[in-house]
Amino acid sequence: MAQETQLISGACPHDCPDTCGVITEVVDGRAVNFYGDAQHPVTQGWLCAKVRPYLEHVYHPERLRYPLQRVGAKGAGQWRRVSWDEALQTIGERWREIIAQYGADAILPYSYSGTLGLVQMTVSSERFWNRMGAGTLERSICGAAAEQAVELTLGARWAPAYEDVVHSRLLIIWGHNPASTAPHLMPHLRNAQRNGTKLVVIDPRRTRTARWADWHLAPIPGTDGALALGLAHILVNEACHDEDWLEAHTVGWPRLRRRLADYPPQRVARITGLPEEDLLRLARLYAAETPALIKVADGINRNLNGGQNVRAILALPAITGQYGRLGGGLAYSTSGYLQWDAAAVGHRTECPPPGRRVNMNRLGAALLGDVDDPPIKSLFVFGANPVASTPNAGKIVEGLQRDDLFTVVHELFLTDTASYADIVLPATSQLEQVDLHKAYGHTYLTYNHAAIPPFEEARSNWDVMRNLAETMGFDEPWLKQGADDVIAEVLAATAANNAALRDVTLERLQAERSLPLNIASGPPFAGGIFPTPSGKVELYCQALADMGLDPLPAWAGREDDGGVGRPDLDPQARARLRPESSLALLTGAAHHFVSSSLANQASLVQREGTPFLEIHPDDAAARDIGDGDRVIVENGRGWCELRAVVSEGVRPGVVVSPKGRWPRRNDGRNVNWTTSDALADMAGQSTFHSNRVWVRPSDEL
């Protein structure tokens, strides 16, 4: 007899601004079809290339089925099957010992962006750990510096809707690649282009987005602050700035104006590697084609000077009076419209004082003794794959091999990180769990129903937190709630202080799939009013001065040395790694993966191709490298092997290899063996893109 097909609505959980609405067709407990929700205003019925074949992910033959306990040496891949009870008991015993000897601080949860859900990420990263008094994680791998720059300068992370680009006469996409990383912007962009909107892309690489541009500029990485201040210099020189707007709506303009004298076109051309004529042309275009919108994301902030570079870009719409205009201003993120009530998320006041903070970008160093009061004795990883995705990964692997470190990894797959664990716990996929998702690219909330039962013995993050709470003998009611009760509690607490949730209830979300936030229509910062302390755009920022940072936008040309300054670097390597022959390695998003998520899915790996390195023909010729050759990409921190793609799609001096490859599927390493764990100028930000490498043919001795 034919089984009835159920249609279950949900949300894409991945780290992507689009947060799509999805529909799963289920027959007899099995998902048989998966597609974009036609009713979802942003998704409009289509999904990106990476999530379209999602059932291959959900029913992947390598999904973890049951808990595992290590029996061989760390990383040797020898396991025995254990029951959940046994696994939880082992964890509880080890943790009680560690807490007695070192304090709960010695236990560090490490989670990030496997899912962005309220329950499975936000609440699961807080409540249980707060109650235990565990070490806390400085979550600064992605956009911390840009977030801080935007909040301090404009007061909030607000951005216009994707469809509003049709009102822009000019769109400057600056260090951002939405064709891969925010795909649902693209139809609106094409529509706008058909309507006459001009598109400029500023990126050292000719990305998929740059191919759509009317004009692509490829500056030297990390020089965007100089570029922005150079454009500002020209705007003022040619009297294209809006003095009245600046006077009425900004703080510190006279001081910034004086500083602009330091950025004449000649100097900026030298710093950025762009011809002077291009600087003049771009400034004039920006002044003439209004309203003009600048679109940035996080790629641009992953530099040693990333925070200040973003600050400098943020000054441009103020100088031209573009903020608050329909089609003008700057778009970074919509995440500021709704912030979940922190007390309801974390119940901090009912917990011991927060444990010491560890910067997630420095995980390897922290495990190896950088953090020693107390040392990290146990690591619990969930929703993250640091060996593949965190900088300076060679050090992380070294740290994970410590015999006295008790590592638990909760995962869907046996990732590189999981392969070093003492205990591996199987996790549910999004189709098997309940959650609520807000977005950072739009303003709809989307509810995720569980569409199918958990795969084999898999459990959700929140269920594991509840299990751990029980194991540790914590019996606060907020450690026992079901996922829907968690959602209801956080919604109610948040709604009490944020009108954006007016009329939003759990029941409505469940029934109506997604609901818009209740926010003022029209452009953000309408009327030139900013939620900063001064109510204005803080070109001069007292809060930065108080932190000991430059309170005015600036370009500080901080350079990474590729790790060659390490005293323990072997002399042969040091001789090979001469500063003048280094290249800047950029490792932004891969088109077919989300960080390392999905990068073990055969059809997607095939479409993305062999792990590659794009290199300019001049740089390739100078190193005797031909298209398709295997090359060693190395620096003082480590190396990996890639296949050369000789291409004019990167500027000379720059090489590109997208992030996300699984080391264990690729000779045991990826690009993060070379990336730096130095921190940026603001907010403890990662600096993946400040990375100098040396490239040579693999067969060269």
Ligand X SMILES: Nc1nc2c(c(=O)[nH]1)N[C@H]1C(S)=C(S)[C@@H](COP(=O)(O)OP(=O)(O)OC[C@H]3O[C@@H](n4cnc5c(=O)[nH]c(N)nc54)[C@H](O)[C@@H]3O)O[C@H]1N2
Q: Residues near 225 by Cβ (< 8 Å), separated by ≥ 6?
A: 305, 308, 309, 311, 312, 313, 553, 554, 555, 556
Residue 112 binding result from ligand X, ligand SF4, Mo ion, none, given CB thresholds of 5 to 8 Å by partner type: ligand X
Report the relative pairing of strands 357-359 and 136-138 from DSSP bridges: parallel
- Please check whether residue 71 is in contact with residue 49, taking contact to mean a CB–CB distance below 8 angstroms: no
Q: Considering the complex, what minimum distance in angstroms separates the CB of residue 429 from ligand SF4?
A: 13
Q: By C-beta, is 41 or 375 nearer to ligand SF4?
A: 41
Q: How many residues bind ligand X (CB under 6 A)?
A: 64
The DSSP element (H or E) to which 225 belongs, if any, is helix 224-237
- Nearest approach in angstroms of CB 96 to ligand SF4 is 40
Answer yes or no whether residue 671 interacts with ligand X by CB under 6 A: yes
Per-residue binding string, Mo ion, 370-409, x by CB under 5 A, is ----------------------------------------
Whichever of 184 and 536 has its CB closer to ligand SF4, that residue is 184
127: its two tokens: 């409540």
Alpha carbon distance 144, 306 (integer Å):
10
C-beta of 99 vs 590, nearer to ligand SF4: 590
**Dihedral of the alpha carbons of 405, 410, 413, 415, in degrees to the nearest 10:** -30
Binding mask 409-428 for ligand X (x = CB under 6 A): -xxxx-x-----------x-
Angle between helix 276-288 and helix 265-272 axes, rounded to 10 deg? 110
CB atoms within 10 A of CB 537: 27
Q: Which stretch binds Mo ion (CB under 5 A): 45-53, 141-149, 185-193, 652-660?
A: 141-149
Phi, psi of 644 (to 5 degrees): -75, 135
Six-digit token string for 646: 């000789």
Interaction mask 278-297, ligand X, x per CB under 6 A: -------------------x
**Cα atoms found within 13 Å of the Cα of residue 238, Cβ hemisphere only:** 20
| Near ligand X in 169-228, by CB under 6 A | 174-177, 180-181, 202-205, 207, 219, 221-222, 224
3-state secondary structure of 81: strand
Q: Is 183 in the site for ligand SF4 (CB under 6 A)?
A: yes
Q: Which of 90, 197, 250, 303 touches ligand X (CB under 6 A)? A: 303
Q: Compare residues 425 and 598 and give the one whose CB is closer to Mo ion.
A: 598
CA 510 → CA 11, 189, 450, 675, distances in Å? 12, 31, 11, 43
Helix (H, G, I), strand (E, B), or coil: what is residue 509?
A: helix
Q: Return the half-sphere exposure (C-beta side, CA atoms, 13 A cut-off) of residue 552.
A: 14
Does residue 523 belong to the site contacting ligand SF4 (CB under 6 A)? no
The reply to whether 346 sits near ligand X by the rule CB under 6 A is no
Residue among 216, 249, 536, 591 that touches ligand X (CB under 6 A): 591
CB 665 → Mo ion: shortest distance, Å? 21
Name the minimum Å distance from CB 215 to ligand X.
14
Number of H helices, E strands in the chain: 24, 27
Side-chain-side CA neighbours of residue 563 (13 Å) = 25
Residues 302 to 361: which contact ligand SF4 by CB under 6 A? none
CB of 413 to ligand SF4, least distance (A): 18
Minimum distance, C-beta of residue 142 to Mo ion, in the bound complex (Å): 3
Q: Report the distance separating Cα 616 and Cα 639, nearest Å.
A: 20
The one-letter amino acid code at 547 reads M
**For helices 224-237 and 276-288, angle between their N-to-C axes, nearest 10 degrees:** 70
DSSP state of 106: G
Number of residues forming the site for Mo ion (CB under 5 A): 1
Beta bridge mates, 412: none
Q: Does 678 bind ligand X (CB under 6 A)?
A: no
Q: Which does 440 bind (CB under 5 to 8 A by kind): ligand SF4, Mo ion, ligand X, none?
A: none
Among 23, 26, 31, 47, binds ligand SF4 (CB under 6 A): 47
Query: Out of 54, 112, 128, 337, which residue is the one contacting ligand X (CB under 6 A)?
Result: 112
Contact set for ligand SF4, span 580-639 (CB under 6 A): 594
Note whether 23 binds ligand SF4 by CB under 6 A: no
12 binds ligand SF4 (CB under 6 A): yes
The answer to whether residues 477 and 146 touch, using CB atoms and an 8 Å cutoff, is no
Contact residues for ligand X (CB under 6 A)? Answer: 15-16, 50, 112-115, 120, 141-143, 174-177, 180-181, 202-205, 207, 219, 221-222, 224, 297-300, 302-303, 382-386, 388-389, 410-413, 415, 427, 461, 586-591, 593-597, 659-660, 671-672, 675, 688-689
